[in-house]
Structure 1
Amino acid sequence: MRQPDLPDATRQDGRYPRPQLMRPQWSELDGDWEFAFGTDPAQQPHTVAFDRRIRVPYPPESPASGIGETGYHHVVWYRRSIARDGLVAAGLSDERSRVLLHFGAVDWAADVWLNDVFLGRHEGGQSPFTFDVTHALVTGDRNALVVRAIDDPHDVSIPRGKQDWREAPHSIWYHRTTGIWQPVWMECVPPLHVVDLAWESDVPWACVNLELTLSRPPSIASWASVTLSFEGELIAEARFRLLERASHLRLSLPHQRNGQQYEELLWSADHPRLLDATVILEEEGAAEPADAVSSYLGLRTVEAVDRTFLLNDRPLYLRAVLSQNYWPESHLAAPDSQALRREVEVIKELGFNAARVHQKAEDPRFLYWADRLGLLIWGETASAYEFNGRAVSALTTEWMDLVRRDRSHPSIIAWVPLNESWGVQHISHDERQQSFSRAITALTRALDATRPVISNDGWEHTDSDIWTIHDYDDDPERIGRRYGSVEAVDELLSGFGPAGRRMSASQDDRAQPIMLTEFGGVSYLDEHVDGAWGYSSAHDPAQFETQVAALLRAVQASPVLSGFCYTQLTDTGQETNGLLRSDRSPKVPVESLRRAIEGR
């Protein structure tokens, strides 16, 4: 059988929308689309007057979209044609090929039609979805794709994150992101193809576990060949018969059995080593593989025990930054794939080894650069603001999809399904809300038992693997006293925290590591911004540098804390407490910030 020529996933350029499941042929559908604002969520495509143009994947509220209208938009419509040459670019080879249409994210509900054939609906503003559109295609270049996005700005039971429910941004909330905001693309695949794959490393036993999900149950004559390599050197290979739609394979890594050299292949922030992987599906008697994909993985372990955070069995002090990953020109959408790379690079240049992307599940291409360049990530998602059955269902469904999507990224070292009791505002005394926090934490562990889970970042913990505290006190001396001894921190954990919220809402103390996961927030700006604010303020660059450095020193001096997360990376809208301006330029010299962040 002829072997396919697959690219190394570890050396991709960052444009491919699904970096851990790559095929060499695909077709991008971003760019110029027809567009219309709507008012009726039940309106049908044939009645819509598409009177505008929009640049996808930028939300219509953003300048980059070409529209830039930030008011309330309950319903938006998109339309474009899919050309025959696009299908060829996507890999269309014969009449047996299936054509898949992929959406990275559409906020919040998406209904999709192709040539007036309804393909389906997806709900969840941050999770990806796919439709097999083969049955709806027609010959020629007149395949009309239509998307209706519904995002009620007043609905606070759906996960909203930092998107404001008021018409204009206020306090810590920003302009809304409506409709398509991550890539749209398509590819052609054989009837039997890989739908999903997940990697899990077992470092002590020198193994890698692969979970492989297929498009349909395989025939008795179907096989999968899997190879792992590092910088061109083969380190594992296996071929096995496919008997079920979901298959599991345990690959032994002989190189890793040598206890004196196994660390040479481990992934870390300082040494972000990635293994290339290929998965090839074969059917006996066929001249060509049924499917072939490239992937990658990282070998590493994460633990939170004995008041210590461990990466690869070694204590690691987290120096994290809170990052909104929001751009003035494109809002929650990235300006382009290189902007995602640059965001990772800037964070590392400042001296941080980790980032908490706040109230947002970031584009997988950002996670690829975090994997490749070595940046630890706390996997978070957007919260709802109301507690009811619909909110529970919406967050749980989308969170499950996101954990499954991102669980193979070595850069992700913790999961955060809830933040500061958003959507569970009465968790301190409401057993139902406590039950939900415990349940979604347990569900996360059921999907992925390899990482710590934070049940409610900041306070009112129910079942966290790490105690996390949010503290915006602007006095370094008070910060120093509050975290200066085991006794002081124990007293804080057993009572009320700095924000006046209980630290525990039924949490047991299992000697979890303790981290200050929001603090700082010093505002400084050298030009007028309407409504500008921060948790404290500085009046010139020298005062800003001194204030930030003093807070960092106070936190780093604690003998109890296992890490910190400084608020925040960039100015975002009226929230002017970034270390960088919104255009990513530094407010004071980067080297000065780096010395303070690294504690030098």
Structure 2
Amino acid sequence: MKKTFFICTILVCIFTNIRAQWKPVGNRIVTPWTEKVDVTSVLPEYPRPIMERNEWKNLNGLWEYAITDVGKSCPKQFDGQILVPFAVESALSGVGKAVGKEKELWYCRTFNIPSSWKNKKILLHFGAVDWKADVWVNGIKVGNHTGGFTPFSFDITAALVAKGDNQLMVKVWDPTDDGYQPRGKQVKNPGGIYYTPVTGIWQTVWLEPVSEKYIEKLRITPDIDKHLLTVEVDRNVVSDEDLIEVKVYDESKLIATARSINREPLVVSMPQDSKLWSPDSPFLYTLKISLKNGDKVLDRVDSYAAMRKYSVGRDAAGIVRLRLNNQPLFQFGPLDQGWWPDGLYTAPTDEALKYDIQKTKDMGFNMIRKHVKVEPARWYAYCDKLGIIVWQDMPNGDRGQQWQNRSYYEGPEMYRSSESEACYRKEWKEIIDYLYSYPCISTWVPFNEAWGQFKTVEIAEWTKRYDPTRLVNPASGGNHFTCGDMLDLHNYPTPDLYLYDAQRATVLGEYGGIGLIIKGHLWEPDRNWGYIQFNSSKEATDEYLKYADQLYDLIFKGFSAAVYTQTTDVEVEVNGLITYDRRVIKLDEKRVNEINSRICKSLNR
């Protein structure tokens, strides 16, 4: 493989002009940020804000690609160029081709290592690759990964050449809805509420130099009741001689420190009057974390944390409410699919990535339900900074299996093969690990509407044990079991409290879906739908306010949260608050903000 690889890479990966002709493909609508995409500086922002180092190198840009039959060796000839990190099916990739389970997608590019990184270990990071990735550097296999929604990395130091260019090759296989893996709403024949497949690299690829001993991962846990902040630091090598130190800053003022050795977590005593994070006041403390040997700093990363607490508790009327910082808070926000007409899973720019969150805030919401998709790390960091609570769904998959009744459960559940179940558990754990330290996340949602739902009680209880700091919504609108922290109802188009749980919080996980067609801003002009459709912005806004008034009344009868469908139009769905291309806000933003703000503050009277 190594010899063949070098022949392939020498023939097709070394090009004299990396700034070859590129443009988005297709004739679909695009966002205002499409024209801002620069092939020489694609998504240039540091991709991991929860654990940031000063030195890194972005590998986004034009790569070579080829689509081959499954099982074929390294291609002798590539098909052209692809703009990474946009999925091969997307317009921004410059390719716009389907792949499918019978094919594999190959990527190739060269890179060099800055001379200032000499004697450093070099880590190769991938934000996300959908779904199975095999990676070679200079013909040497450096690793593989399965899972389309989480980051992974490899130490590639031993595979690098001392001088000149290094060759990077990635092979991807993704069966989309022909496989059992978590895939969200991707299907090979999109339509209705299901969308275009996403195959391959769809988040930033980057290099990072580190010392022989370095920090691998952080796990940050606040406790506002005990005024403690716990920082667990994973390292590649644990030595008795090394020490971990954390310094906590309120802006530029040092307010607390802690140090530990061996594998002991850092437990920081925070001020009794610590600033609490909330949607109204999303305060973040700055963390500076160092790995030391004596006076020598081996590694240093910057991070941040929030003092906040998610819980449930009864109000004066005996209704179980969601709480933030020990106070009841009605959580209200849109169902956010996170799709883009030009980039599919990938926002065209960082400004675009932030836009949807900012508009959610501008409309008076305090929460987002991230629907069967996981976002890049910077998306969650923006929610932290702007003050948006997040309910995080597990992307669904394996809907093709059979249903069965099991006596030790309360209803029908899906039967999964052992491989399917193992895949689900692996990827769900990786998602929780990836997102654990982001303060915005309040709720884990393992299942949606019985899509791939199995062993609900067991999965919900495992999720709660694995992360007791968050709430668990076991099945949003799905087959209901008495587990977790919530009973979640779906009802379209109007809000309706048709079930009530006296022991858990009762929430409305989906409602609304008010459709409005805006000509010139449609994915398919002749095929579109909404749960209910209107002909003008005023009519749609009036209907939204009518539903909001109904929801407000139902809060005092038992609802503790609600999710409106949805943030934007997506492909043929036209029930968004904003058009799919993000060029038109479809409802009256001022009127929507006023009623939304009233709903969010309903329990603070």
TM interval, shorter chain, is 0.7 to 0.9
CA-CA distance at 1:592 after TM superposition: 2.2
Do structure 1's residue 515 and structure 2's residue 534 form an aligned pair?
no
Which residue among 415, 423, 438 is the counterpart of 2:444? 415
Structure 1 residue 51, shift from structure 2 partner: 2.2
> Take 2:393 and 2:215, find their aligned partners in 1: how far apart are those partners?
27
1:37 aligned to 2:60? no
1:455-504: CA deviation from partner (whole Å, max 9, x where unpaired): 11113233120111110045xxxx4xx43xxxxx5xx34xxxxxxxxxxx
Instruction: Report deviation, 1:587.
Output: 1.1
Out of 243, 247, 255, the position equivalent to 1:223 is: 243
Aligned 1:1-400 pairs, distance under 5 A = 15-40=45-70, 42-45=71-74, 47-70=75-98, 72=100, 74-85=103-114, 88=115, 92=117, 94-95=118-119, 97-166=120-189, 169-218=190-239, 220-240=240-260, 242-244=261-263, 247-253=264-270, 255-256=271-272, 261-262=273-274, 265-284=275-294, 288-306=296-314, 307-384=320-397, 385=399, 386=401, 387-400=416-429
- 1: CA distance, partners of 2:166 / 2:44: 29
Q: Secondary structure at the match of 1:597?
A: helix
SS in 1 for 2:167: strand
- Partner of 2:447, secondary structure, is coil
Distance 2:350 2:79 in 1: 29
Amino-acid identity (%)? 32
Aligned positions of 1:491-570 closer than 5 A = 492-493=499-500, 511-527=503-519, 529-558=525-554, 559=556, 560-570=558-568
Structure 2: distance between partners of 1:251 and 1:84: 38
**Code of the aligned partner of 1:251:** V
Measured in 2, the distance between the counterparts of 1:464 and 1:14 equals 40
Aligned partners of 1:311 and 1:592: how far apart in 2? 26
Letter matched to residue 356 of structure 2: E
Shift of the alpha carbon at 1:139?
A: 2.1
TM, length-normalised to structure 2: 0.84
SS at match of 1:400: helix
SS of the residue aligned with 1:289? strand
Moved more, 13-22 or 325-334: 13-22
Q: What is aligned with 2:407?
A: none
Q: Distance in 1 between matches of 2:511 and 2:442?
A: 20
Q: Is the Cα contact below 8 Å between 2:108 and 2:170 reproduced in 1?
A: yes
Alpha-carbon distance in structure 1 between the residues aligned to 2:502 and 2:157: 53
In the alignment, is the contact (CA less than 8 A) between 1:20 and 1:295 conserved in 2?
yes
1:575 matched to 2:573: yes
Moved over 4 A (4+): none
Partner residue in 2 for 1:429 = none
- Corresponding residue for 2:460? 441
Could you say what secondary structure the match of 1:439 adopts? helix
Instruction: Compute the displacement of 1:70 (Å).
Output: 4.2
Give the alignment's Cα RMSD to 1 decimal. 1.8
- Cα distance in structure 2, aligned partners of 1:390 and 1:533: 36
Deviation of the 1:14 alpha carbon: 9.2
* Aligned-pair CA distance for 1:305: 2.5
- For 1:84, what is the secondary structure of its paired residue? coil
Q: Deviations over 1:209-246 (max 9, x none)?
A: 1111100121x221112100111111111233x224xx
Question: For residues 84 and 517 of structure 1, what CA distance do their matches in structure 2 show?
Answer: 48
Letter in 2 for 1:274: L
Q: Is the 8 A contact 1:28 1:184 kept in 2?
A: yes
Q: Distance between the aligned counterparts of 2:107 and 2:502, measured in 1?
A: 51
**In the aligned structure 1, how far is the partner of 2:177 from the partner of 2:197?**
11
Corresponding position: 1:454 with 2:446:
no
1:274-333 deviations in whole A, cap 9, x for unaligned? 01001111113x6x4111111100000110222111000111011110011111000011
| SS of equivalent to 2:135 | strand
Name the aligned partner's letter for residue 280 of structure 2.
D
Post-superposition CA distance 1:28-50 (Å, at most 9, x none) = 1101101111221x2232x3421
Amino acid at match of 2:306: G
State the partner residue of 1:428.
none
- Asked whether the 8 Å contact 1:70–1:175 carries over to 2, the reply is no
Shift of 1:597: 2.5
Q: CA deviation at 1:442?
A: 2.1
Instruction: Decide whether the 8 Å contact of 1:358 with 1:380 is kept in 2.
Output: yes
Give the Cα separation in 2 of the matches to 1:447 and 1:417: 13
Extract unaligned runs of 5+ from structure 2.
1-42, 315-319, 402-415, 600-605
Alignment check: 8 A CA contact 2:222 2:230 kept:
yes
Q: Which amino acid aligns with 1:37?
A: I
Provide the residue aligned with 1:4 in structure 2.
none
Partners of 2:347 and 2:467 in 1: CA distance: 28
Cα distance in 2 for partners of 1:468, 1:305 equals 17
Q: Which amino acid aligns with 1:202?
A: D
SS in 2 for 1:49: coil
1:430 paired residue number: none
Unaligned runs of 5+ in 1: 1-12, 425-432, 484-488, 494-508
Is the 2:228–2:269 contact (alpha carbons within 8 Å) kept by the matching residues of 1?
A: yes
Task: Please give the alpha-carbon distance, in whole angstroms, between the structure 2 residues aligned to 1:305 and 1:416.
Answer: 19
Does the 8 Å CA contact 1:320/1:565 hold for their aligned counterparts?
A: yes
With over 3 angstroms needed to count, the CA separation of the structure-2 counterparts of 1:154 and 1:590, relative to structure 1, is closer
CA distance in 2, matches of 1:193, 1:441: 34
Distance 1:187 1:510 in 2: 51
- The superposition leaves residues 110-146 of structure 1 with CA deviations (integer Å, 9 ceiling, x where unpaired) of 0000001011210000011110000100022321000
Aligned partners of 2:121 and 2:532: how far apart in 1?
56
Deviation at 1:439, TM superposition (A): 2.2
Report the CA distance between 1:154 and its aligned residue: 4.3
Does the 8 Å CA contact 1:75/1:149 hold for their aligned counterparts?
yes
1:580-599 paired onto structure 2 within 5 Å: 580-584=578-582, 585-599=584-598
* Letter of the 1:138 counterpart: V
- Aligned match of 2:18: none
CA deviation string 1:77-98 (max 9, x = no partner): 100001133xx5xx61x42x11
Corresponding residue for residue 6 of structure 1: none
Residues 142-195 of structure 1: CA distance to partner in whole angstroms, max 9, x if unpaired? 2100000100134241111110142xx111001011000011001010111100
In the alignment, the residues of structure 1 paired with residue 280 and residue 113 of structure 2 have an alpha-carbon distance, to the nearest angstrom, of: 46
> Match for 2:425: what amino acid?
T
Give the secondary-structure state (helix, strand or coil) at the position aligned to 1:162.
coil
Partners of 1:329 and 1:77 lie apart in 2 by 22
